Amino acid sequence: MSLLAIKKELKLLANAEKAEHSKRFFRTGKGEYGEGDTFLGITVPEQRKVAKKFFKDTPLNEMEQLLHSEFHEHRLTALFILTYAYEKGEEDVKEEIYDLYLRNTKYVNNWDLVDSSAHKIVGAWLKDKDRTLLYEFAKSNDLWERRIAMIATYAYIKEGELDDALLIAEILVNDSHDLIQKAVGWMLREIGKIDQSAEENFLKKYYKTMPRTMLRYAIERFDTKKKDFYMGRS
Is 233's pLDDT higher than 90? no
Contact partners, residue 38, CB within 8 Å, separation at least 6: 19, 23, 28, 70, 71, 72
pLDDT at 2: 87
Residues 146-174 have pLDDT tens digits of 999 999 999 999 999 999 999 999 999 99
Please, which pLDDT band fits residue 46 given cuts at 50, 70 and 90? Answer: very high
For residues 174-179, give the mean pLDDT: 97
Q: Tell me which architecture the domain covering 117-227 has in CATH.
A: Alpha Horseshoe (1.25)
Rounded to two decimals, the pTM is 0.95
Would the CATH topology of 1-110 be identical to that of 117-227? Answer: yes
CB-based burial of residue 97 (10 Å sphere; 0-12 exposed, 13-18 middle, 19+ buried)?
A: buried
Residues 8-26 have pLDDT tens digits of 999 999 999 999 999 999 9
The residues that bridge with 71 in the sheet, in sequence order, are: 38
For residues 179-186, give the mean pLDDT: 98
pLDDT at 214: 98
Please, which pLDDT band fits residue 77 given cuts at 50, 70 and 90? Answer: very high
Report the alpha-carbon angle 117-45-26, nearest 5: 65
pLDDT at 1: 61
Residues 98-151 have pLDDT tens digits of 999 999 999 999 999 999 999 999 999 999 999 999 999 999 999 999 999 999
Percent of the chain with pLDDT over 90: 96
Average pLDDT of every residue of the chain:
96
Q: What's the first-to-final CA gap in the chain, in angstroms?
A: 62
Q: Tell me which architecture the domain covering 1-110 has in CATH.
A: Alpha Horseshoe (1.25)
Phi, psi (deg, nearest 5) at residue 233? -105, 10
Is 202's pLDDT higher than 60? yes
For residues 180-208, give the mean pLDDT: 97
Phi, psi (deg, nearest 5) at residue 220? -55, -35
Domain ranges of the chain: 1-110, 117-227
Cα dist from 49 to 41, 79, 84, 118, 125, whole Å: 15, 13, 11, 20, 25
